[in-house]
Structure 1
Amino acid sequence: MKKSTCRGCGAPIVWIKTTAGKSMPCDAEPVLYKAREGAAGKIVTPNGEVLSCDLDVGPDEATGIGYISHFVTCPQAEQFRRKGAPKDGSHGN
C-alpha cells in the first residue's frame, strides 16, 4: 500500500490495488465495517476487494477493517473523476 497526499485537498491517502488491477486512492485511516449485500456504503479491503457495507459500526458488529475511497470524501474529487465513473467511489466494482 503506497502512501501519499491528495493533490486536491492535501489529505493523507493510501493507494490500494483493486482486484480489477486498478489503483484506488483511499482515506489513510482504516475504518470498521460490516459487510452487507446491497448496503449503500462501499469499502475497499486491504486486499483490494470493493464491498457493500454498513459503516460506523462498533467492534462487536464489525466484520472487517477497510478503507473509504477518497473519491467519496475529497471536496475536490470532481477534478480527478474520469468521465463515466460512478460518484460512490466504487469504480463500477
Structure 2
Amino acid sequence: MARCKGCGAEIIFIKTSSGKSMPCDARPIIYWENRKGKGKIVTPNGEVLSCDFTGEADKATGLGYIPHWATCPKAENFKQTGSKGENLC
C-alpha cells in the first residue's frame, strides 16, 4: 500500500474516468450521492461524484473513497497551478 509523502497516511490511487490517477484515503466509506452535496467521493470505477456522508443506511448509494487532498493535513504543500489555472494534487 502506498503512503502519502506529506502525512504518512495509507493511500490508494484510483484512475478516474478522465484517465488521471487520484490519490484517495485507503479506507472505503459509505456515501449517499447528492449532486448538491458538499462532499466528494471517488467510486471504485473512477467516477468522481458529489455526495453526502450521512443518511439512511438502507438508502446509501454505495462504497467509495475520499480524495486524500480532502483529509490530508499537509495538502497545501502539494497544490500546484496547472497551465489552465487548475489546482493539481
Common fold by TM > 0.5: yes
Q: Secondary structure at the match of 2:8?
A: coil
Q: Which residue matches 2:43?
A: 45
TM-score after normalising by structure 2: 0.87
Give the % identical residues.
Answer: 55
Q: Which runs of 5+ in 1 are unaligned?
A: none
Q: Which runs of 5+ in 2 are unaligned?
A: none
Give the count of matched residue pairs. Answer: 85
What does the per-residue CA deviation read over 1:48-69, in whole Å, with 9 as the maximum and x for residues that have no partner? Answer: 0000111134532311100000
* Counterpart code for 1:44: V
Contact preservation (8 Å) 1:36, 1:53: yes
RMSD of equivalent CA atoms: 1.6
After the TM superposition, which segments of 4 or more aligned residues of structure 1 sit over 6 Å from their partners? none
Q: Distance in 2 between matches of 1:58 and 1:76?
A: 32
Q: Secondary structure at the match of 2:50?
A: strand
